[in-house]
Amino acid sequence: KLSRQIYDESATFTDEIDTYTLDKWIVGTQRLFVGDKSRVTLVGDIQVTSDQVELRFDEDLMFNIPFKPVVSLTGKLILKRDPSTGLITSYQEFWDQDVATVLKSAKFG
C-alpha cells in the first residue's frame, strides 16, 4: 500500500501521461491498479544524493478494469528530495516506450 509519510504535502507526481498532486496520485494509483497482481522490479544501482534519488524500473501493471489487462514497461524514476527534511518533493517517471507502445503491450488473462 502506498504511504504519504515519505512525501512532502506539496509533492508532484509526473508520468508520461500527466502530473498529479499527492492526494490524486495515491488515490488514483490505488484505484487504477491491482497491487497484488502487479510487479515492479528495480534494475541496476540506485543513485542517492541529499536532494535526489534516481533508479531504473521494470514493471508489469494490472489495471483494475474489466478483463484486468496487464501492461509492461521499463524506465527511469527521479525522486527529488528536500535536503532539510529528506521528504520527496517531486516524483517523475521517464518511460523507455511511448504511451501507445505501452498500451499495445496489454495482455488479457
Note the pLDDT tens digit of each residue in 29-69. 999 999 999 999 999 999 999 899 999 999 999 999 999 99
Nearest 5°: the CA angle 51, 54, 59 is 145
What pLDDT, on the 0 to 100 scale, is given for residue 72? 97
Comparing CA positions, the residue from 63, 62, 45 lying closest to residue 54 is 45
What pLDDT, on the 0 to 100 scale, is given for residue 97? 97
Q: What are the residues facing 79 on neighbouring strands?
A: 53, 91
pTM of the entire predicted model: 0.92
Q: For residue 1, what pLDDT band results from cuts at 50, 70 and 90? A: confident
Q: For residue 85, what pLDDT band results from cuts at 50, 70 and 90? A: very high
DSSP annotation of 18: -
Torsion of CA 96, 102, 108, 109, to 10 degrees: 20
